[in-house]
Amino acid sequence: MSPVYLDHNATAPIRPEALAAMTAALNAGGNPSSVHGMGRAARARMEHARAQVAALIGAPASTIVFTSGGTEANALAIESAVAGGARRLLVSAIEHDAVLETAKASGAEVVRLAVKPNGRLDLDTLATHLKAWDDAHGRPFVALMLANNETGVIQPVAEAAVLVREAGGWLHVDAVQAAGRIAVDSRALGADTLAISSHKIGGPPGAGALTFGPRANLVRRLHGGGQERGRRAGTENVPGLVGFGAAAEAAQRDLELAGGQAGWRNAAEAALAAAGAVPVGSDVERLPNTLCIAAPGFPAELQVMTLDLAGVQVSAGSACSSGKVKASHVLLAMGLDDLAGSAIRVSGGWSSRAEDWTYMVEAWITAYERHAARRRAPAA
């Protein structure tokens, strides 16, 4: 049997639509800045992709800046705010490292906003910080992700946007995990900037986008040519962007199917809970594809390795680039200190089937029971 891939939140398999569009773009070639026919055709393909990506997040195409991925899209927003005078950044404690580390490296003071035990931002804390705002900190900047990558928990972004707007601030939304899994409308959410990434929705890695509204002033981070309306120099990755666009269109078409996958996730969660696992983040609205489950006494990395041997690919709560696993800052922020080292993330997506989830459940229960038996056995 082929491996069961339930790690879409790490990266989704490439969608056939994206692969076909990229192959055609690679074969066609052309530099969008060239004025001849091949250049104009490349530009037309790229602008079509821009419209496809814009449609997925309810943004005008003219407000899409293509980037090398979600990390760069987040950085463009954060560094633009700091360049514009922001001296203090309010970021939710459960943001992805792309936001937390960029904020830290920006030189501004970083305040991590608490989340409630259910994994959602504590809006009272945000309101308190905004009320006590000192103009010496520059314009308020708030980063709040739309859905968390580890738990799938959906954040109260529209409510936060009202508070940020009242304070005259800038709300940045990392929608990297939400896009293509739930409907995302950047304008209705009240985001001033919103980041998404191609490889989480079935496009190629190395492509992403930031949309910006009228209250966000973006600065230029890469200097050279006038690409992306002078906002990001460098010859565009047209094949990658075209694949991103095709994936965005397919993801939008499949949103209802994506929503339906919550049924598989919920059934798996119930079966695992009955076997002794502890669900995380299940009290509030979550992405339909994500399951975070902990097993006290069964280290996350051991669960991941055992499942891998059984042909099931999932993630530990938080994986370092070295391949080592550290306790999840997301679970720690939720006050789940005793679960933080034993939580795994199972995430489906466009290529998933119901049997993937049932097989994962069987494999996990077998692994869990074996581990429990070994722990019970007296040392030789």
By annotation, the residues acting in catalysis are 320
CA-closest candidate to residue 65, choices 171, 177, 213: 213
3-state secondary structure of 89: strand
**Residue 215: CB partners within 8 Å, gap ≥ 6?**
170, 192
Q: Minimum distance from CB of 94 to ligand PLP (Å)?
A: 9
Q: How many CA atoms lie within 13 A of 336 on its CB side?
A: 28
Nearer to ligand PLP, 27 or 321 (CB): 321
Residue 69 CB, nearest approach to ligand PLP (Å)? 3
Q: Is 92 in the site for ligand PLP (CB under 6 A)?
A: no
- Nearest Cα to 347, choosing from 277, 287, 272, 280? 287
Residue 145 engages ligand PLP in binding (rule: CB under 6 A): yes
Q: Lay out the site mask for ligand PLP across 167-186 (x = CB under 6 A, - = otherwise).
A: -------x-xx---------
As a whole number of Å, the CA-based R_g of the chain is: 21
**Residue 75 near ligand PLP by CB under 6 A:** no
By CB under 6 A, tell whether 155 contacts ligand PLP: no
Q: Considering the complex, state which of residue 145 and residue 246 has its C-beta at the smaller distance from ligand PLP.
A: 145
- Select the residue interacting with ligand PLP from 52, 63, 71, 106 (CB under 6 A): 71
Beta pairing partners, 346: 291
Examine residue 7 and tell whether it contacts ligand PLP (CB under 6 A). no
Candidates 52, 50, 45, 96; CA nearest to 70 is 96
Q: How far apart are CA 90 and CA 94, in angstroms?
A: 12
When asked if residue 79 is in the footprint of ligand PLP (CB under 6 A), the reply is no
Of 64-72, 127-135, 162-170, 278-286: span binding ligand PLP (CB under 6 A): 64-72
Stretch that binds ligand PLP, among 66-74, 258-266, 318-326, 360-368 (CB under 6 A): 66-74
Q: Does 12 bind ligand PLP (CB under 6 A)?
A: no
Q: Number of residues interacting with ligand PLP: please give it, by CB under 6 A.
A: 13
- Contact between 198 and 239 under an 8 Å Cβ cutoff? The reply is no
The yes or no reply on residue 208 touching ligand PLP (CB under 6 A) is yes
CA distance 265 to 211: 31
CB closer to ligand PLP, 90 vs 176: 176
Shortest spacing between CB 80 and ligand PLP, in angstroms: 17
Which residues contact residue 278 at a Cβ distance below 8 angstroms, ignoring those fewer than 6 apart?
293, 294, 295, 296, 339
Q: Rounded distance, CA 327 to CA 340, Å?
A: 5
Task: Report the residue number whose CB is nearest to ligand PLP.
Answer: 70
Which spans of this chain sit near ligand PLP (rule: CB under 6 A)?
A: 69-71, 96, 98, 145, 149, 174, 176-177, 197, 199, 208
